[in-house]
Homo-oligomer: A and B are copies of this chain.
């Protein structure tokens, strides 16, 4: 399989099917690009009309193309593509780029045609790129198999994989002004066969590629992407722009977690896990890619700022802070040395303001001092057009200083005409320059992210061998089997809700402590259940909750009674809840509401009241692309309004669990706040890890939600008070 993929990236001979001598046709542009870039393999042309093109013969059939040929590029009308694929197969060509459009992107007929192409390919192990793509470029091999207007990109260290073809043309053209070159550019088109994930390893293995950039409109297999990207990211930095952020991805959900876990959360969690740095715009992606291609990662977050102007220094300080970086506290010795090198009015505290009079010597000398300071992890130099010297001369003076050491340096080079020479010097020396401090700061932050990924790349998700997987499996089996006919008739979703007592046992099997819960079908049973849990003992109080698979948000209909401490109150409570339940409308299936089906009523759950404590929500949902995700945050009924939440991929590493807590107010509050005492934070982390493990182990669980998890004082644990689970 991977052999055929290599044919795309290192072909010995290419045939352009649909090569045309009509210079207005894309089949001409493609042929021209291949010939003009002086590709170091063979180039052949096919067109039924024959003739010659660019000094080469045009063969009338694919069968006639001589060796070597292992890659075909098709630029022929879509309906002719299946036959051409057969011809390729017969000629022994196992890698085909279908550049032509007219497939899935045009509607059902095109989709059927695309499926036919894929079937043909699958028969013989042939691999397809496209259809509906721009093609690919490899500057090392001088291969330009696209129909884009020349010139192609300069050689360089950035590989670009794109779901959009149009953006390729724009980025190549834009790269000239930005001063970056490309190792490879691959336009993936409709991804009938080969997709972005398939190519990650081979691109990461390319010695010319120093960073991989991805323009993504979605992913077909999120988990596989994570695995492949994480592996690639250990070798080379990955930066991705994921578009379609606001595309609606609605689906049936039965929990807050489900309603809140949008695909953006999933992508963020996935990218973080895989070490993919997420950019918000194309500008950011390539700003960061230049820094990642040319500089070492940023080993810490303390930045020195060297400027000849106070204003931009303030902007830089703002931008560093906004990007999670900090102004380094300069060593006294550094400050003294700076003082000696600068006029008295200069500021030698960070940002170091050398004043407008600073010339090449000040810039290079002070930069050296800053880089030598052990408190400084990296430097931003700010260079507006100097009033008395040339920006070019200053840039030139700094280059050897930067190249003779290892800390990353970026330059905010402000202006246009007056800085052209400086831009050229820096670009040639592979020192990233940006027009404004804000963009420079964001690039430094990408270097810091890179460092942090590398330092945690080997952490493994935490899977506790002590959980009772067999028991959980049995509980889920039973749940499937006991789904009563009455429930099933209500439709798939409600039938798949686990009963609360099943949820309790399921969570307990995975070492998540739960408040005990017993189902009582009558007031007598309720009293007996409460007695068994100590009814009548001092301070012992109980909760009653409606037991009905149809009433999902019990508290909304007053279906939960608290603080019951006597037989009488439990009896009265039982009757009250049953009455409320009878009046309530099932809410699980809104479309059925008008029929006013009375809810399926099992009785009442009896639960001893747990000690008081902080309350949080833990949840789990299955993302269509990335599989199981867990959620942590502020619980209660306001969870969907407050949105104090964090998401992670299941199973979780311990660090991820800790970071999820740190991202939320609910998590920070566990450390104690004002009169709120510290709670058992470790118990929450453990519960979150176990929940993630449960989600990971049983793909049949669609959603779980624990709301609330009551967190007791430090050392005393946490208790799931109310839980629900839905099977898929």
Residue positions of A touching B, CB distance < 8 A: 24, 26, 29, 101-102, 105-107, 110, 147-149, 162-167, 169-170, 173-178, 215, 217, 243-247, 280-283, 308-312, 314-315, 317-318, 321-322, 344-345, 355-356, 384-385, 387-388, 414-419, 435-436, 438, 553, 555-558, 637-638, 641-644, 665, 668-669, 673-676
Contacts and interface: CB of A to CB of B under 8 A. Distances in A.
A345 B642 contact: no
Contacts of A148: 385, 387
Given A387-B169, A415-B169, A436 B283 contact: yes
A167 B311 contact: yes
A166 B356 contact: yes
B314 A244 contact: yes
A415, A558, A665, A673 pick with most chain B CB within 10 angstroms: A415
A98 to B, nearest CB: 16
A353 B105 CA distance: 12
Nearest to A553: B674
B387 A102 contact: no
Given A106-B345, A438-B281, A553-B674, A318 B244 contact: yes
A589 to B, nearest CB: 18
B311 A673 contact: no
A260 to B, nearest CB: 14
A51 to B, nearest CB: 22
A24 B556 contact: no
Nearest to A103: B345
A26 B388 CA distance: 8
Given A176-B417, A387-B149, A417-B176, A311 B674 contact: no
A29 B165 CA distance: 50
Given A283-B436, A318-B243, A387-B29, A675 B173 contact: no
A167 B637 contact: no
B245 A416 contact: no
Nearest to A320: B246
A83 to B, nearest CB: 21
Q: Which 7 A-B pairs have the closest CB atoms?
A: A164-B311, A166-B309, A173-B415, A170-B414, A177-B416, A170-B384, A556-B675
B311 A555 contact: no
Given A176-B416, A312-B170, A317 B642 contact: no
A639 B448 CA distance: 32
Contacts of A318: 243-246
A165 B638 contact: no
Given A170-B312, A215-B311, A246-B322, 8 more contacts: A101-B345, A148-B387, A149-B387, A149-B418, A164-B310, A169-B415, A173-B418, A174-B416
B344 A106 contact: yes
24 contacts: A107-B345, A148-B385, A149-B387, A163-B311, A164-B309, A166-B308, A166-B356, A167-B414, A170-B385, A170-B414, A170-B415, A173-B414, A173-B417, A173-B419, A174-B416, A176-B416, A243-B311, A246-B318, A280-B438, A282-B315, A283-B436, A556-B674, A556-B675, A637-B673
A310 B166 contact: yes
Contact of A167 (B167, B169, B312, B675): B312
A79 to B, nearest CB: 14
Give the copy number. Answer: 2
Contacts of A553: 674-675
Contact of A673 (B167, B387, B638): B638
B26 A387 contact: yes
A166 B384 contact: yes
A641 B163 contact: no
Contacts of A674: 553, 556, 637
Contacts of A416: 173-178
Contacts of A165: 309, 311, 356
Contacts of A245: 318, 321-322
A168 to B, nearest CB: 9
Contacts of A436: 281-283
Contacts of A24: 388
B283 A317 contact: no
Contacts of A177: 416-417
A604 to B, nearest CB: 19
A283 B435 contact: yes
Nearest to A151: B417
Contacts of A345: 101-102, 105-107, 110
A173, A355, A555 pick with most chain B CB within 10 angstroms: A173
Nearest to A555: B675
A167 B383 CA distance: 10
A424 to B, nearest CB: 15
Contacts of A419: 173
Contacts of A311: 162-167, 215, 217, 243
A263 B152 CA distance: 49
Contacts of A163: 311
Given A174-B414, A244-B314, A644-B642, A637 B283 contact: no
Given A356-B166, A416-B176, A638 B669 contact: yes
Contact of A387 (B147, B244, B312, B415): B147
A78 to B, nearest CB: 10
A385 B643 CA distance: 42
Contacts of A314: 164, 217, 243-244, 247
A509 to B, nearest CB: 31
A167 B642 contact: no
Contacts of A169: 384-385, 387, 415, 418
Contacts of A435: 174, 283
A433 to B, nearest CB: 13
